[in-house]
Structure 1
């Protein structure tokens, strides 16, 4: 048995990055292997994210002009890929100026920070930074044509700032659901699970409509066609998810409405009608992000968010938006 590590639960957040392109604009219907299985991810950022700047005094970070959500990419012209390396540069500075390259949104900035000593005589900058995250979610599809996968239906964001994490590198591994925290009105539930050490793919894109990359395992799940936006209807549908019994299961839902041109990516309102799922989870819970939505034997999209005050309901994104957003930002379609 593979060694199981890291007890984790993925939070839900999304930030708009790319424009909507609907599936109805595609000339050829896509066919993919449907997902529904859990996966674990470990992601490292391109640079380090400033989570907080100490403004209780004129700290070095505040004096330099750094702000929450800034991304530090270089220090003294050295590429920064980890918290530890930036901390080493600050600690060994001797109080000398450090030249920083910073991204604020899409704008590159240059700043100078001058570390100072704390009460213990160590050089500090007066800021908190983050370079990695880990979590649990659900695979939406595997595409044999591009040898790619899509998952979550929303981006991975920093839990403190809500900023979309800038992907430097990342991997996905097999995961197992160990327990369920049932959702209640006002309290988000969650699928709690274990990440294994069995790597199944590499992350190459983290944008507001999902995480994407190349898979190394054989595709799992039935091969089915993708729906065009014009084919999505209000009415009965199903979602595919894996709970703590470890089995892929299909649950009944209702598509209550849709906003296919909504640029938030929250294109469908989904209500759980399946009594077994309601009894087990209370509705849609964290960790179910990416669960495929099926209607008329076609993949129409994925579950993305839960309504915290009505956990039997949530949002879904169309499969057309997931596919087109991947192809615009890092996906390469291979000729068949």
Structure 2
């Protein structure tokens, strides 16, 4: 008999066995396991394969230890949970060999600096000044011949366009635009209007019409330069001195256009009453600003995941004054959780919810999770989720996992939440793994 034949037979049996296992449900769990794991330094994470297979794992024990053992190679049962403990910032690989022989999977492991933030929940007043003057409507102007037209509309300006300059002079408020129009219109030459449309700078020629009755030059546009409202603070990062709030972009109420922030500020606010949510009619928090001269922070960015800026000190009325860990998007799971929010005055309270669905997101995207309010006390008070509650921090297993963003109109007890990871990126607190490799994914 050929001495190599037993080895060939064994190899064939092994291949067939792996093939059979490969189409089984347990093995599909392994195949579906991510090719990359991210942990914070000092984090202990359990990974469950639930497959009755022996395997050999190879790691760098100075960066990552498995099952509490400082070994570069160890034999484990994939039927039992694997305990992963990160020790220092760095990258390593966890190589998996089935039966100690067959290379099966290589998992990239990235250990990033530990991060903790103070969860919010406070109702805040928001004042935003845009980086220009927003076109929110057209109106007709009567010229000397009695004809009606809108000079702005004739010039091609649309709702949502943001005027940034007149004759190359910067404009960031309605008063300034009016002064420039009056100054240059007397020259009886068309104005050169610079504006932003979908993030792209454009120019057009606009010829104002003199209103004989009002004795003023008119451009036939309804315009706005600021917005104000209330929302909820999501987190404060004391080490970086920054905050995140709202969980969704601020848009102009008439055009639906995201507001390009010039500057702004957040203030303390107190809830005076609540209009309860009902099917087909989302409710809202009614609140007034408190101590308007006492600014909590500035507004530097308005993104798909909320507003962000500097905050110099710990916000008052915190439910939790101590910083807590945050969770990566892939660590959020379906099950019980709670939110922090205000339903009366300035007191932040804790309410129970259920995370009923988690979307798989490896890059920033809205609607990361579907949540449902289960706390009867909150439902009785608000009907579920109401406007002004957006930004309320979502906490699961002692970790900040996201923020409330939207309510379902047909079921106000349910709504969407975004992952905290994306908010932390936009705040500049957490950088995407690939950024260290030269790709900047943080907004």
* TM-score, normalised with respect to structure 1: 0.87
Matched, 1:50 2:135: yes
Once residues 45 and 306 of structure 1 are traced to their aligned partners in structure 2, the CA distance between those partners, rounded to angstroms, is: 26
**Equivalent residue for 2:211, pick from 112, 118, 121:** 118
**Equivalent residue for 2:342, pick from 222, 229, 242:** 242
What does 1:64-103 align with in structure 2 at a 5 Å threshold?
A: 64-92=155-183, 93-94=185-186, 95-103=188-196
Classify 1:26/1:208 alpha carbon distance in 2 versus 1 (closer, same or farther; 3 Å).
farther
Determine if contact 1:103/1:109 at 8 Å carries over to the other structure: yes
Once residues 328 and 292 of structure 1 are traced to their aligned partners in structure 2, the CA distance between those partners, rounded to angstroms, is: 17
Q: CA deviation at 1:29?
A: 3.8
Once residues 23 and 97 of structure 1 are traced to their aligned partners in structure 2, the CA distance between those partners, rounded to angstroms, is: 58
Q: Partner residue of 2:288?
A: 194
Determine if contact 2:241/2:313 at 8 Å carries over to the other structure: no
Q: Helix, strand or coil: the match of 2:300?
A: strand
Matched, 1:215 2:311: yes
Size of the alignment, in residue pairs? 309
- Measured against aligned partners, the alpha-carbon deviations of 1:152-187 in whole angstroms (never above 9, x if no partner) come to 001111001111001001011111111111111111
Greater alpha carbon shift after TM alignment, 204-213 vs 222-231? 222-231
Two-structure CA RMSD over aligned residues (Å): 2.2
Classify 1:260/1:266 alpha carbon distance in 2 versus 1 (closer, same or farther; 3 Å).
same
Determine if contact 1:171/1:199 at 8 Å carries over to the other structure: yes
Q: CA deviation at 1:329?
A: 12
Classify 1:40/1:89 alpha carbon distance in 2 versus 1 (closer, same or farther; 3 Å).
same
What does 1:235-274 align with in structure 2 at a 5 Å threshold?
A: 235-261=335-361, 264-274=365-375
Q: Helix, strand or coil: the match of 1:112?
A: strand
**Equivalent residue for 2:423, pick from 308, 322, 331:** 322
Once residues 131 and 290 of structure 1 are traced to their aligned partners in structure 2, the CA distance between those partners, rounded to angstroms, is: 24
Q: CA deviation at 1:91?
A: 3.3
Q: Which runs of 5+ in 1 are unaligned?
A: 1-21, 331-336
Q: CA deviation at 1:104?
A: 1.1
Q: Helix, strand or coil: the match of 1:174?
A: strand
Once residues 300 and 316 of structure 1 are traced to their aligned partners in structure 2, the CA distance between those partners, rounded to angstroms, is: 9
Once residues 240 and 211 of structure 1 are traced to their aligned partners in structure 2, the CA distance between those partners, rounded to angstroms, is: 18
Classify 1:208/1:322 alpha carbon distance in 2 versus 1 (closer, same or farther; 3 Å).
same
Matched, 1:35 2:129: no
* TM-score, normalised with respect to structure 2: 0.66
Higher relative contact order, chain-length normalized (CA < 8 Å, sep 6+) = 1
Greater alpha carbon shift after TM alignment, 67-76 vs 110-119? 110-119
Matched, 1:105 2:198: yes
Classify 1:229/1:29 alpha carbon distance in 2 versus 1 (closer, same or farther; 3 Å).
farther
